[in-house]
Amino acid sequence: MVLQKFTNRKILALAGLVAGVLLIALFLFLSKRPAHSESNASPLSLTVIEVQAMPFVITARGFGIARPVKTWQAVANVAGRVVERHPQLNSGTLLAAGTLLLALDPGRYQLAIAEIEAELASLEAEQAQLKAETQNTRALLQLETERLQLSQTEYERIKNLFKSGAVSQSKLDEQQRAILAQRQLVQSLNNQLSLLPSKQQRLQAQTERANTRLEQKRQDLADTRFIAPYDLRVRSVAVEKHQFANIGQALFLVDNIEQAEVEAQVPLAMLRRLMTTVLLPLDAQQPALDITERMDFSAIRSEVKLTGFPSVSWPATVSRVASGVNPSTRSGRVVVKVDQPYSLANAVEKPALQRDMHVQVVFAVDSPKPLLAIPSSAVHQGEVYLVTEDDLLQRRPVKLAFEQNGLAVIESGLQTGDLLIVDDPQPAITGMKVVPHRDKTLEQRLQQLAQGTAP
């Protein structure tokens, strides 16, 4: 009985399998074969442009923070009470160059200057007296020297008379004593003259020391007045009128508004492309110590734009390339300067380029030679689609130099005059028939994009 049930199940499974195979065969037999579409054989209508070498403006962009080129932290070099403070010396105020910002009490320094000037007058009088004394001593020395010569002549005359017995020995001795006394007087005057130069040197040293002290006191007096060295904007003030300021105390902090600078963080690929374009030939006679010395920064056009407000911009010039690379962004550091960032200040339309503003810096330089540029969308995984002379589609690999502003600059793989397909046909089969339609408007726009003049 069990064997009979097992046999029946096996027969039913085999019958079901056979029925399934028959049904599949029936469906295949009854299904219609797909009709061959003649439309697939018809050529595709595609938009093409002629590949051209065009003038190209290489650009680079970077972001940074604006800051003044010069900042003045005023510190008290002398102690004193604040006797004058400009009424507009407050945070945010603009003040012109030459404005007296702050003054400390100058009284003690004026008194010290008067005391030293009196000392100098006394020293000058002593020097005048010493000069007169020197002249008098020299005159006396000349007279006494002449008297000595006369005494010696008289001594010779008396000596001759003594030999002839006309005068006594006492007369000869008296004249000899007179000569010795005159010699002593002349020697005394010579000694006195020899001491006068040392007195003169001492007075000169005292005068120089007094002049040094006078100059120091005058400098201290000048340090009591704080005058704006340039047009500035006050950032902070830490002292009030009548307050006593100690030596070394910070008084106020101001920023120069005549120039601002931005250290832009530029991606290394963009920076290398930009700087290579303005690289000067190597001079074997005067080799440069730094590669930046061989770069013509004047050829780079720069513009600073306020982040979020691209219509607000300031012309700038490249100042230098800072050393090192930003470790977090792996970007180079290009410093640009903006002249007169406050000159056209308008709170609504043209705000001033103030400290800590986040800005974008745009660099542009003309390529030394025309470049082959095509739309970036026309490059498909390293290949482009071209139309041959027989209106057949051709796939060709290309090598990109770089991409910029929606354009791909081709290093190799394309030639001037090639017809480039700018559509994306699906599928793109080599040898398929196409009907090209040249888009000259797109070609003109590509030239505008290459030169940065596209609206």
What are the tens digits of pLDDT across the range 310-324?
Answer: 888 899 999 988 887
For position 2, what pLDDT does the model report? 41
Query: Is residue 393 predicted with pLDDT exceeding 50?
Result: yes
Assigned CATH for 44-56+369-451 = 2.40.420.20
pLDDT tier at 39, thresholds 50, 70, 90:
very low
Dihedral-angle region of residue 191 (phi above 0 means left; psi in -120 to 50 means alpha; beta otherwise): alpha
Task: Say which amino acid occupies 80.
Answer: G
Domain boundaries, the chain: 44-56+369-451, 71-104+227-256, 108-222, 259-366
pLDDT tier at 284, thresholds 50, 70, 90:
low
For position 211, what pLDDT does the model report? 94
Helix, strand, coil shares, percent, the chain, to 5: 40, 35, 30
Averaged over 29-38, what is the pLDDT? Answer: 46
For residues 17-28, one letter each, b for 16 or more C-beta atoms within 10 angstroms of the residue's C-beta and e for the rest, the string is eeeeeeeeeeee
Averaged over 391-415, what is the pLDDT? Answer: 92
For position 363, what pLDDT does the model report? 95
Pick 397 or 26 by higher pLDDT: 397
For position 35, what pLDDT does the model report? 42
Residue 386 in contact with residue 49, Cβ under 8 Å? no
For position 6, what pLDDT does the model report? 43
Query: Is residue 407 predicted with pLDDT exceeding 50?
Result: yes
For position 15, what pLDDT does the model report? 64
Let me know if domain 71-104+227-256 sits in CATH 2.40.50.100.
Answer: yes
Query: Is residue 286 predicted with pLDDT exceeding 70?
Result: no
Q: Is the dihedral of CA 275, 280, 284, 290 positive or negative?
A: negative
The least confident of 75-84, 244-253, 417-426 is 417-426
Query: Is residue 437 predicted with pLDDT exceeding 50?
Result: yes
Residues of the chain with pLDDT > 70, as a percent, come to 87
Query: Is residue 21 predicted with pLDDT exceeding 70?
Result: no
- What the block records as the tokens of 272 is 């290398």
SS3 137: helix
Q: Where are the strands (E) in 107-258, listed by range?
A: 225-227, 232-237, 244-245, 250-256
CATH number for 259-366 (one of 2.40.30, 2.40.160, 1.25.40, 2.60.40): it is 2.40.30
Q: Is the dihedral of CA 122, 124, 130, 136 positive or negative?
A: negative
Query: Is residue 37 predicted with pLDDT exceeding 60?
Result: no
Averaged pLDDT score across all residues of the chain: 86
Averaged over 128-155, what is the pLDDT? Answer: 85
Q: Please, is 372 exposed, middle or buried when counting C-beta atoms within 10 Å of its C-beta (0-12, 13-18, 19+)?
A: buried
Q: What residues contact 344, with CB distance under 8 A and at least 6 apart?
A: 350
- What the block records as the tokens of 351 is 């705000």
Residue 48 in contact with residue 419, Cβ under 8 Å? yes
pLDDT tier at 40, thresholds 50, 70, 90:
very low
Task: Say which amino acid occupies 42.
Answer: S
- What the block records as the tokens of 61 is 């962009």
Query: Is residue 5 predicted with pLDDT exceeding 60?
Result: no
Query: Is residue 169 predicted with pLDDT exceeding 90?
Result: no
